[in-house]
Amino acid sequence: MKLIKYLYPLALLIFFYSCGSDDASPEPQPVINNNDDEDILQLPTTNSNPPVINNNDEILQLPIANTNPGDPGIGSVRNLNSFDFVAEMGVGWNLGNSLDVVNDADLFNTTKTEWGNPLPSKAVIDKVAETGFKTLRLPVSWRTNQNPTAPYQIEAGYLQRVKNVVDWAMSNDMHVILNIHHDNEWLRPVESDKANANARLKSTWTQIATYFEAYNEQLIFEVMNEPRLKNVPEEWNGGSVSGRRIVNEYTKTAVDAIRDTKGNNSNRQLMITPWAGSAINKAMDDLIVPNNDPNIIITIHTYFPFQYALNGEGIWGSDQEKADLRAEFENIKQKWIVRENRPVILGEWGTRTDKIPTENRIEYAKFYVEEATKRGLLTVLWDDGGNIGLLDRRTLRWRSQTQADAIVESSLIKD
């Protein structure tokens, strides 16, 4: 594949205009409210057809974010080992069910609001930072705004919209975890899909990494979210031997693509995960760190116990339940921190806010974060704005301020 870098945005826009039909209209761009207290991400109207990016399938455009020296988050990546880096990050929060929204009924015509949340706003990020959260995990599904055929071009306007949210977090001096989220439909870990998936994954991360190369170490790339084969018995049970092997291949493809973009991406901290983000031993044991790269962090998702955390069943807090959760954390610590010398981020955890009484959620959250922190595991709360939602993004009020404060305070304890 021939790679050509275009100066962004002027040359890129000229290319769009020149290669389309005579009556083609320009790509609609995001409109951002200029009031800093009410900046809201606006998505342009799209249509139900795959985005047509250019007429030359052999040329991959590589736009670069428009940044200025001195802007928050812009600069060289500091040379920190991964443990020191994670220690700097601070407790995190997920902007879930937002830019990761996928409308499978009409894939290329999503408003990114179909799952019940308003569009992202600076006010939401400001509120999260004001409460004391130091890390923003930004889940993004790219297939809604990406050509599904080679060279798998991502819409430039979509990269810009993702950048806006990254910049809102950087203006609050937060770390940002940027990922590939609900893209499992084209990242199936099966032999028949492997060639195309590897090509698309390489292209996707080449574009993302090139676009954000100017950002400093506060921007982290998480190469895949819960990679797995959907709707099979082993989906949430650690996967199959062949499936885990292919996940490793995809992981290496992504890591190599990012590193190949050079510059800040040569030693940017990256996050990788086992099959489905699982803490099951066979999934963790089979995960291979590509190239023994020193700047790689392991991320695990553990809604533990599942019946309570995600199903909202019962009241949590018996001595046995506490012992079981400690054992879950200890197993993760021993595998990665002790034996493999890799730091760990618990990239998703949380509880049902629609079924579990508030006081019990607070008790669980405090215990969860304290016990994880004691073992050096950084926690990033999953917040989908709905059944597992803690922040009401419309009113900018926490459904339980006490729970939000308890999460932040519990993350500050010392061993």
- Over residues 376-394, the pLDDT tens digits come to 999 999 999 999 999 999 9
**pLDDT tens-digit readout, 190-202:** 999 999 999 999 9
15 has a pLDDT exceeding 80 = no
For residues 128 and 121, give the distance between their C-alpha atoms in angstroms, rounded to a whole number.
11
Residue 69, preceding peptide bond in cis (omega within 30° of 0): no
Domain layout of the chain by residue ranges: 2-410
For residues 144 and 49, give the distance between their C-alpha atoms in angstroms, rounded to a whole number.
10
Q: What is the mean pLDDT of residues 259-281?
A: 98
| Residues paired with 296 in a beta bridge | 270
**pLDDT tens-digit readout, 210-249:** 999 999 999 999 999 999 999 999 999 999 999 999 999 9
120 has a pLDDT exceeding 50 = yes
Query: How would you class 302 by CB atoms within 10 Å of its CB: exposed for 0-12, middle for 13-18, buried for 19 or more?
Result: buried
Q: Which residue has the tokens 């019940």?
A: 116
User: Is residue 371 left, alpha or beta, with left meaning phi > 0 and alpha meaning psi from -120 to 50?
Assistant: alpha
Q: Would you state the pLDDT for residue 48? A: 40
Sign for the pseudo-dihedral over CA of 260, 247, 93, 31: positive
The residues annotated as belonging to the active site are 226, 348
Q: Would you state the pLDDT for residue 375? A: 98
Confidence grade of residue 105 (pLDDT, cut at 50, 70, 90): confident
414 has a pLDDT exceeding 70 = yes
**48 phi and psi, to 5 degrees?**
-85, 5
Cα dist from 91 to 62, 222, 244, 356, whole Å: 33, 17, 29, 23
**pLDDT tens-digit readout, 130-163:** 999 999 999 999 999 999 999 999 999 999 999 9
Are 410 and 378 in contact, with CB atoms under 8 Å apart? no
CATH 3.20.20.80 given to domain 2-410: yes
Angle at 386 between CA 381 and CA 390, to 5 degrees: 40
pTM for the complete prediction?
0.88
